[in-house]
Chains A and B, each alone.
Chain A
Amino acid sequence: MSKQEKAHKSPRKARLTTPELQFLNEWAKRQTKRYRLVQLLGILFTVGLVAQAWSLANVFSDLVIDGAFSVSLLLIAFSALLIRALASFGRERLSAAASRSIRYTLRKKLLSHLTHLGPSRLKIDEDAALSTRVYEQVDALDDYFSRYKPQLFMVSLIPCVILLAVLPVSYIAFGVFMMTAPLVIIFMIFVGHKAAQANRRQFRVLAMLSNQFMDLSQGLAELKRLGRTGQAKQRLSDSASAYQRTTMGVLRLAFLSTATLELFASLSIAMIALYLGLGLLEQLPWDKGQAPVTLTQAFFLLLLAPEFYLPLRQLGNDYHAKQKAEAAATALLEIFNTPTQDTQTASKDDAIQSHLSIVKTQSTSLLTFQALSWQQAGRTRLAPISNHIREGERIWLSGESGVGKSSLLHLLLGFEKGYQGECFVYHEPFSTLDIAQWRGRLAWLPQTPEWVNGNIRQNLLLGIQPPSEQEIQTALEKSQCADFIKALPAGLETKLTELGTGLSGGQMQRLSIARALLSNADVWLLDEPCSGLDEDTANAVLETLNSVSKGKTLLVVSHDTHPISWADRHWNLTHGGLHEQSIQAIA
């Protein structure tokens, strides 16, 4: 058996190096206790299997020869069958529980990781696609943890135990098992390897087909306008047929692996039955006139023969579970491999030490940047900047894309921590700041306004103490939302869903402004509030912003195409650092 095990493990070990399998193994380890119990029950199951075969064999032979048998043997057989049933019941429950516990913990971890990633999660994928990963992909691990993983143990256990049980009974039967088992495994590896390749290819092609369907469906409106839906249907139909033809060729080969297993299982049952029958008739060519086994032993062997191959066959069936899990693991690892910014705290502490002494002098400013910079993976995401913002100052921050404007905003929002240098709020360094209190002063107006499913009112009042109706009305007037909200049939109760309500980009941006007004935040951070808008709309929105934000501290990121002429100061951020420019030059 040792040889078998080696043969069985070697391909596994070779692939163990992939990060996906490491990931899966790590998570499986968290449920070691449950998996141990599952293994224990597996042993109990196997014992029940052998006991059942032994007692039934006795019952059968007595029945055939004497027409009678002892009740106690039958009772043993029945209780062995019951033990098997209960053991597999327990195994199923436990492995399902293990899988559940792994998946739901994993999901929680994913959610909290995504939360910590904050705005940088969008570098991985958009929210809808992330939700597919968090829900569907995590659930795709189920079969691996609940079936494949426990079955791996049974695959080595059951054949070993049966071989041990057969050895004292018949050398020939032992020989048949020993001969076929490695053959089965070699064939499984040989054909299975090809099948796995074929399987992967099929997986890819199927994904491609789904993709084509998705693509054509997404552009269906365009196709309808062009009057090409018929052709698209033809295309779908053609590629499905072509796929069917090519895949079937691949599948024929892939199923050979299952068929080989079946063939070995069936043939060796047949061989053992023949051998035993002839032996009992004393007609074996090499052993005429002698029965090598008793009838009891013959039944025992016959009952165990199918069980010997069963776990292997099941494992073959569950093989796709592993592939599915690996594919899912790839998608999940991508999320986990996107680091949250907690790692470089050590270097930051040094920075604090070195700068602490200088800073006390500039304490009148709301925000002070002291050689604030940000390196990530050897890449400069923000060149060192030193400057300060006084309370009530409105600052326009411009610069080409990728120079770190958004990073600076994310940092001020408290989502990025791996920076060097220091940022002070009055005296307090950012790292020791009461972040919740600081965030309470902020309003955030990104490029695409942030909305939850719900009506306009709920979104305006998101996370603040409900103000009076009068205050809401004032905020709406100031942000120039009042008119178009009045035009809505449901007014403030109009639902804002992901699908949009037909509100234009400018109107959504105005609602954001209303929300910022209602929150009484005095520090507003704006990330390209006008980038999706046409020029007229953008100018109108900027004008509104100007009128409502007087007296507040503003940091507005905006391209040169949308100059903020009313800003008090203009910062131009480059890869070399921050340059203060005169506002009159542009205005």
Chain B
Amino acid sequence: MSKVSKLSLKRLLLANPWGFAIPLLLGVMASLAGVALLGISGWFLSAAGLAGVLGLAQGFNYFTPGALVRLMAILRTAGRYGEQVSAHEHLLGLLKTLRLWVWDQRVAKAPASLHQQSRGDLLQRLVSDLDQIIRWPLVVMLPWLYALLAYAGVTVLAYIISPSLVLPMGIAALFHLVLIPLMCGRYASRHVHVGQILGTHRRSRFVSVFSALITLTIRGHWQTYAERLEQLDARQKQAEVKIQQAISLGRLASYCVTLGLLASVFYTLMDSQNSAQLSLIAGVQGAWLVAFILCVLAVNELVLPLSQSFVAQGQSQVGIRRLNQLHTVQQNESTANQASLATIKSIKLTQFRGYHAPSNLGNNTVSMTLEGNECVWLQGHSGSGKSTLLAALAGDVLSEGQAQINGVIMPLYGNEMYQSQLSYLPQNPYVFQQSLLANLQLGAENATEEALWKVLDAVALGDWARNLPQGLNTLLGAQGRDLSGGQRKRLVLARLLLRNRPVLLLDEPFDGLDSASIQTICHALQHDYQPNLLLFISHIPSPLSANARVIQL
């Protein structure tokens, strides 16, 4: 699947047509063999019974039907097994394709909107949407095709017995395969949709209400808020009832159609001699008719799950719609001024201001010039927007005003060429749930072990790491939860130092550190790991501040 395409169920099928065709073929084989097993058995029994009654048993060739029955039994088993295995193979492939698609979409997103989507529960929902969607071919498409082909096979049999049976077969097929699933799907999909929206709503309400639990309780208003949560739940329950109704009614209707089909078959092929007895019309053999009826009963079993599967389709579609909201049309950014950028030597800001998109909050406009080989201490009272300015300088949040890099005016926001020249330590740095080694290597892929230990020592994490039983291969927990805030910051700083870029932007690097660690880090920043340009925010005085130029916001 290409980067820019939107998702649709059809694209899902076509993503890997061969992967889909193999389980389909095997499944069709198994389904037809299952129907045929009953039909042939019925015919065999009838013919045998008839032969026995007529005394023709001696000449009856029972080898062929006997072999056929066994063959069908084996085909059904092998087919079902093969179908399951190959279908899951296909499904896992699909999961991979979809995940990568979602990844591409998210990578293409602008950094400012990325923050909104990075919250845990949103991602959780994304993952469950993916799991919902990949089941679609298996749960919806394949069963429908099996039923269709089984119908086709049985209709051929019906034609052989009597062409007049084709019409009732056709009508029943129309109901079973098209009308009932469509109606169930149509009826349910609205409620599936409503249910999903309610679900999202209910969830954000839960989080919002619970995060203010104590205030609401002491103000005596918890009850009203909790009741509204329960009302949402009740509405969700209603949607669920409706969906369940659609499935059950669909099945009941399928049964009724089968009944009607059987009745019309008997009506077409039988004459009523008197009120209590029906007899076959001329030219129709009883044994074939029995086989046919058994086949119809077998097809009925294939048709029954369809009403449910079309409700599942509704769920997949809602999932796809939600995933498509991720879809970003790639803007053709003017890549011209991103094309090449030598080492950043100077940054000149004129009337520059960083701000957050939804609230328009940020720093007041500033103008400043940062030259190479400089250490700058950004100061300002709380709320003056120091962090926002630094993030805007890092190209992470939106900015307005003018920025000149090496004398060339260029946008900073989302400018990959520019960003590749700098390292930025945000206030809440992210540690991946990988090994310590892998986390560090994100900074420099081919760093030698020696270099890794050196940088760990530089951020005063060396002794800590040496005491870990698994050393560099220690797996770091969720969100780096087994690391303290200070350790997390230092680890990410080590990663940035390994990366060795000319510009280093640090947001409160010393927060929560003891003075010995601060000394060590400052020493490293002034010697082995000294960047061309160091810009930092800190409310703690440090050895760096001695020869730093102070800029007051």
Contacts of A176 in B (CB 8 A): none
B45 engages A68 (CB within 8 Å)? no
| B360 interface neighbour in A63, A452, A489, A536, Cβ under 8 Å | A489
Chain B facing A: main interface SS: helix
* 15 further interface pairs, Cβ-Cβ under 8 Å (given A128-B119, A498-B207): A63-B286, A66-B279, A111-B226, A129-B121, A226-B495, A259-B77, A262-B81, A263-B73, A274-B66, A291-B52, A299-B45, A302-B42, A444-B214, A444-B218, A534-B382
Contacts of B249 in A (CB 8 A): 89
| B361 interface neighbour in A128, A212, A269, A503, Cβ under 8 Å | A503
Assess whether A190 is interfacial by the CB under 8 Å rule.
no
CA distance A69 to B208 in the complex (A): 70
Contacts of B116 in A (CB 8 A): 499
Q: List 19 A-B contacts (CB under 8 A).
A: A64-B49, A65-B50, A67-B279, A67-B286, A81-B262, A108-B230, A127-B211, A211-B433, A225-B419, A226-B499, A231-B442, A233-B100, A233-B103, A273-B69, A280-B48, A414-B218, A415-B217, A450-B215, A488-B361
CA distance A515 to B216 in the complex (A): 12
Contacts of B432 in A (CB 8 A): 215-216, 219
Assess whether A391 is interfacial by the CB under 8 Å rule.
no
Closest to A61 in B: B49
Chain A residues 206 to 232 lying within 8 A of chain B, measured CB to CB, are: 210-229, 231-232
A81 engages B259 (CB within 8 Å)? yes
A323 to chain B, nearest CB (A): 15
Closest to B252 in A: A89
B290 engages A446 (CB within 8 Å)? no
Closest to A294 in B: B49
A86 to chain B, nearest CB (A): 7
A277 engages B65 (CB within 8 Å)? yes
A221 engages B220 (CB within 8 Å)? no
Interface size on B, residues (CB 8 A): 149
Contacts of B294 in A (CB 8 A): 303
A321 to chain B, nearest CB (A): 14
B127 engages A213 (CB within 8 Å)? yes
Assess whether B248 is interfacial by the CB under 8 Å rule.
yes
A506 engages B443 (CB within 8 Å)? no
B489 to chain A, nearest CB (A): 13
Assess whether A107 is interfacial by the CB under 8 Å rule.
yes
Closest to B65 in A: A277
B46 engages A64 (CB within 8 Å)? yes
Assess whether A504 is interfacial by the CB under 8 Å rule.
yes
Assess whether B359 is interfacial by the CB under 8 Å rule.
yes
Chain A facing B: main interface SS: helix
Chain B residues 195 to 212 lying within 8 A of chain A, measured CB to CB, are: 199, 202-212
Contacts of A282 in B (CB 8 A): 52, 57
A89 engages B251 (CB within 8 Å)? yes
| B212 interface neighbour in A69, A262, A462, Cβ under 8 Å | A462
Contact with B along A269-298 (1 / 0, CB 8 A): 110011011101111000000010001001
B420 to chain A, nearest CB (A): 5
Assess whether B549 is interfacial by the CB under 8 Å rule.
no
Closest to B203 in A: A131
Contacts of B213 in A (CB 8 A): 115, 118-119, 121, 450
CA distance A282 to B226 in the complex (A): 76
Closest to A243 in B: B92
Contact with A along B457-488 (1 / 0, CB 8 A): 00000000000000000000011000000000
Chain A residues 239 to 280 lying within 8 A of chain B, measured CB to CB, are: 240-241, 243-244, 247-248, 251-252, 255-256, 258-259, 262-263, 266-267, 269-270, 273-274, 276-278, 280
Contacts of B42 in A (CB 8 A): 60, 299, 302
B77 engages A114 (CB within 8 Å)? no
A218 engages B41 (CB within 8 Å)? no
* A223-B442, A266-B73, A501-B359 known; A252-B100 Cβ under 8 A: no
Contact with B along A130-152 (1 / 0, CB 8 A): 11101110000000000000000
A136 engages B128 (CB within 8 Å)? yes
Contacts of A360 in B (CB 8 A): none
Contacts of B356 in A (CB 8 A): 501-502
Contact with A along B67-104 (1 / 0, CB 8 A): 00110111011001100110011001101100110011
A128 engages B289 (CB within 8 Å)? no
Contacts of A444 in B (CB 8 A): 214-215, 218
Assess whether A586 is interfacial by the CB under 8 Å rule.
no
Assess whether A540 is interfacial by the CB under 8 Å rule.
yes
Chain A residues 124 to 181 lying within 8 A of chain B, measured CB to CB, are: 127-132, 134-136
Contacts of A218 in B (CB 8 A): 118, 120, 123, 430, 479
| A71 interface neighbour in B88, B230, B275, Cβ under 8 Å | B275
Assess whether A371 is interfacial by the CB under 8 Å rule.
no
B244 to chain A, nearest CB (A): 5
B539 engages A536 (CB within 8 Å)? yes
Assess whether A440 is interfacial by the CB under 8 Å rule.
yes
Assess whether B240 is interfacial by the CB under 8 Å rule.
yes
Assess whether A85 is interfacial by the CB under 8 Å rule.
yes
Interface size on A, residues (CB 8 A): 143
Assess whether A96 is interfacial by the CB under 8 Å rule.
yes
CA distance A259 to B81 in the complex (A): 6
Closest to B222 in A: A115
Contacts of B46 in A (CB 8 A): 60, 64, 295
| B252 interface neighbour in A86, A215, A263, A537, Cβ under 8 Å | A86
Contacts of B41 in A (CB 8 A): 269-270, 273, 277, 302
A135 engages B199 (CB within 8 Å)? yes
B375 to chain A, nearest CB (A): 20
B270 to chain A, nearest CB (A): 8
Assess whether B111 is interfacial by the CB under 8 Å rule.
yes
Assess whether B114 is interfacial by the CB under 8 Å rule.
yes
Closest to A146 in B: B244
| A210 interface neighbour in B106, B127, B215, Cβ under 8 Å | B127
Contacts of B335 in A (CB 8 A): none
Contacts of B126 in A (CB 8 A): 217
Assess whether B280 is interfacial by the CB under 8 Å rule.
yes
CA distance A501 to B202 in the complex (A): 22
Assess whether B388 is interfacial by the CB under 8 Å rule.
yes
B100 to chain A, nearest CB (A): 6
Closest to A534 in B: B539
CA distance A270 to B104 in the complex (A): 52
A220 engages B120 (CB within 8 Å)? no
A226 engages B442 (CB within 8 Å)? yes
CA distance A527 to B111 in the complex (A): 34
* A248-B89, A262-B80 known; A498-B208 Cβ under 8 A: yes
| A213 interface neighbour in B99, B247, B394, Cβ under 8 Å | B99
Assess whether B107 is interfacial by the CB under 8 Å rule.
yes
A244 engages B69 (CB within 8 Å)? no
* A258-B84, A507-B383 known; A224-B45 Cβ under 8 A: no
Closest 7 A/B residue pairs (Cβ): A463-B219, A537-B382, A68-B279, A295-B49, A85-B255, A502-B356, A266-B73
Chain B residues 492 to 544 lying within 8 A of chain A, measured CB to CB, are: 492, 495, 499, 508, 511, 539-540
* A89-B251, A236-B99 known; A266-B115 Cβ under 8 A: no
Assess whether A187 is interfacial by the CB under 8 Å rule.
no
CA distance A72 to B278 in the complex (A): 10
Contacts of A266 in B (CB 8 A): 34, 37, 72-74, 76-77
CA distance A85 to B69 in the complex (A): 29
B277 engages A533 (CB within 8 Å)? no
CA distance A354 to B418 in the complex (A): 73
Contacts of A69 in B (CB 8 A): 277-278
B315 to chain A, nearest CB (A): 12
CA distance A210 to B361 in the complex (A): 35
Assess whether A439 is interfacial by the CB under 8 Å rule.
yes
B433 engages A462 (CB within 8 Å)? no
Assess whether B424 is interfacial by the CB under 8 Å rule.
yes
Assess whether A428 is interfacial by the CB under 8 Å rule.
no
Assess whether B287 is interfacial by the CB under 8 Å rule.
yes
B210 to chain A, nearest CB (A): 5
CA distance A291 to B45 in the complex (A): 12
Contacts of A219 in B (CB 8 A): 430-432
CA distance A135 to B360 in the complex (A): 35
